Amino acid sequence: MKDERRNRASSGSKRPLKTLDRALSKLGAGSRTQAREWISAGRVRVNGRRVTDPEAWVDVARDRVEIDGERQKAGPRTYLLVYKPKGVITSRTDPQGRRTVHDLLPHRSGHLFTVGRLDLDTSGLIIVTNDSQLAERMTNPDFHVDKTYLVKASARLSDEQLDALRRGVELDDGPTRPAKVVRLRDPGGRTVFEITLTEGRNRQVRRMVEALGAKVLKLVRVRLGPLEAEGMKPGDVRELTPSEVAALGRAGRSPAKG
C-alpha cells in the first residue's frame, strides 16, 4: 500500500493524499504522536486492511480510515479553553485513576486533545481542540508563541537572579531562551513574579527557578498567546470565540521571520 500511495502522490494526482499519521490528525482524531501510537499498535485499518506504517499514503477523500473499527471523518472544529486545576493531569486517561482535563469537559462528539501539557502541580490555561494544525503552531517553538506564568518562589530573588532568567539560564538540556520577567511583590521573604516564555520544555519554569537555588511554591499559567485567564477560575471551561481562534492562528512569529 505504501508504494502504491507514493506512486499516486508523485504522479501529479490532485487528490488529497497524506501520510496515515497526518491524515488521522487532519481528520481530528488526535495529534500525530497519538496517531503513530495507534498505528503501531495495529488499531488502524484503511479500507479494511490493518496498516502499521504511519508513512503509508491514504486518500482522505476516498479511503475508509478506521480506529478500532470506528470510521474517522472530518467534523466541525472544536476550540475550548480550560483552566486546569492543580492535581489534574492533561492526559486523556490515567492508570492511577486521577482526574484528567477531559473529565472537566462537557460531553462532545469527536476526538479532542490538549495542546501541550501542564504538570500535575501546575494550574492555569490549556487549550483542548481537534485542530491539529493549530496545535502544531501553538507547540512549535519556532513560532515563539508567548506563554506567561505567575510564579511564587521559595526565597526572595535578587535583581541579579531575575536578570539571569531574562537572559536565559543553563539547564541540563541546554540554555533557555531569553524571557520576560516582571517582579510583582516580595511577601514574607519570597518573590512573586511573572515570566513569559516562547518555548515549552518539560517543567521548564520550575527548573529555571531551581537553577537559581530556589523552589517554585506556586505556578499558574495565566496567559497563552492572546488568551488570558481573567474571569476564569480553576475547573472552568469555555468555548473560544471565532476572533480568539483567528488570533491564535496569528500568534507568535513565523519561522521565516525569526
247: amino acid identity, one letter: A
Rg (CA), the chain: 21
> Could you tell me how far CA 185 lies from the centroid of its own chain?
30
63 is catalytic: no
> Cβ distance 62 to 100 under 8 Å?
no
Classify residue 231 as exposed, middle or buried by CB count within 10 Å of its CB (0-12, 13-18, 19+). Answer: exposed
Considering the candidates 94, 119, 146, 186, report the single residue annotated as catalytic. 119
161's CB contacts (< 8 A; 6+ apart) are 212
> What is the chain's length?
258
158: amino acid identity, one letter: S
* Nearest one of 251, 197, 189 to 219, comparing CA atoms: 197
User: Which residues are marked as active site?
Assistant: 119
